Amino acid sequence: MLNQFFRTRLPARLPESFTPSCCIVCKRLCAKEPALCEGCLAILPWLNPSVCLQCGAVAGGHCLRCENRAEPLKHRLAVFEYAFPVDALLKKFKYKEKRAIGRCMGQILGHAALASGLSHEVDYLLPVPIALPRLKSRGFNQAADIAEACSEIVKVPWTNHWLHRQADTPMLAGLTPAERRFALLGAFAATNDVAGKHIVLIDDVMTSGATTLELNRELIDRGAMAVSVWTVARTVEPTKRFSH
Ligand SMILES: [Zn+2]
Ligand SMILES: [Zn+2]
């Protein structure tokens, strides 16, 4: 109905600034940003605060498993559990080039960072880079889209020039955590611009953390003051997942 109204009453040529958009989940008209209607916002799998961001276990706010593990990162932030429909949305964004989804998710991540107060202590947002062949075939880096939208909300600058992926690494699925770390050794190169700064790595999903740890090592080697990670979603250990 509303869609029909817009189709018939709006002038044929709209000013560039006015782009009626649709809710990324239900597709109903949603002329606001982030492009998610109230109904869909309420049903998304918001990450339960009891999930340990370091390992993904549901830990009741205090993960005994990670208590004695070194946490090299300054802080971690994730908004959703990597579960339906967020997992499906992120796949659509990545593989079907639905870039409005990435923009919306980046804005939500930005609002979450503002609400948590974490955005005040950081200097730069850097999207996790993808290898050149993959960039060429996909046409865009999904993490860069998220970083750009997030940056507009938190008013922290972003760049994709300071971090590069040296080589395409083998598929990490099926490898043990130690094998993943080994496969990623030397995979990234940072420029000296990161020196003295608190860097935030931006990505769509936080999983085993092997990529984040290798990036952290490279950034600290290049003189970064601190490294944090913000992602749209986090995988949660399946056996201990909360039901929504
Ligand atoms: Zn909706
Ligand atoms: Zn943990």
Does 133 lie in the same domain as 28?
Answer: no
CB atoms within 10 A of CB 237: 13
Give yes or no for residue 73 having a pLDDT over 70: yes
Model confidence over 11-62: pLDDT tens digits?
Answer: 444 444 445 589 999 999 988 889 999 999 999 999 998 999 988 998 876 7
Does 161 lie in the same domain as 85?
Answer: yes
Does 101 lie in the same domain as 53?
Answer: yes
Range of the domain at 1: 1-43
Note the pLDDT of residue 19: 53
Note the pLDDT of residue 116: 94
CA-angle at 93, arms to 91 and 95, nearest 5°:
60
Does 82 lie in the same domain as 3?
Answer: no
User: Which residues have a beta carbon within 5 Å of ligand 2, which is an ion?
Assistant: 52, 54-55, 63, 65-66
Does 33 lie in the same domain as 10?
Answer: yes
Does 97 lie in the same domain as 141?
Answer: yes
Model confidence over 110-139: pLDDT tens digits?
Answer: 999 999 999 999 999 999 999 888 888 889
Q: Closest-lying ligand to the alpha carbon of 40?
A: 1
CA of 234 to the centre of ligand 2 (A): 12
- DSSP H helix total and E strand total for the chain: 9, 6
Model confidence over 213-244: pLDDT tens digits?
Answer: 999 999 999 999 999 999 999 999 865 554 44
Does 63 lie in the same domain as 2?
Answer: no
- Give the H/E segment covering residue 231: strand 226-234
> Among candidates 197, 193, 239, 201, which has minimal Cα distance to 73?
201
CATH number of the domain encompassing residue 63: 3.40.50.2020
Does 93 lie in the same domain as 1?
Answer: no
Number of domains within the chain: 2
Does 69 lie in the same domain as 28?
Answer: no
Does 99 lie in the same domain as 29?
Answer: no
Give yes or no for residue 9 having a pLDDT over 70: no
Does 62 lie in the same domain as 15?
Answer: no
Model confidence over 176-220: pLDDT tens digits?
Answer: 878 888 888 889 999 999 999 999 999 999 987 889 999 999 999
Are 233 and 79 spatial neighbours (Cβ–Cβ below 8 Å)? yes
Q: Global pTM?
A: 0.87
Give yes or no for residue 64 having a pLDDT over 90: no
Does 206 lie in the same domain as 103?
Answer: yes
Distance CA 122, CA 201 (A): 11
CA of 202 to the centre of ligand 1 (A): 25
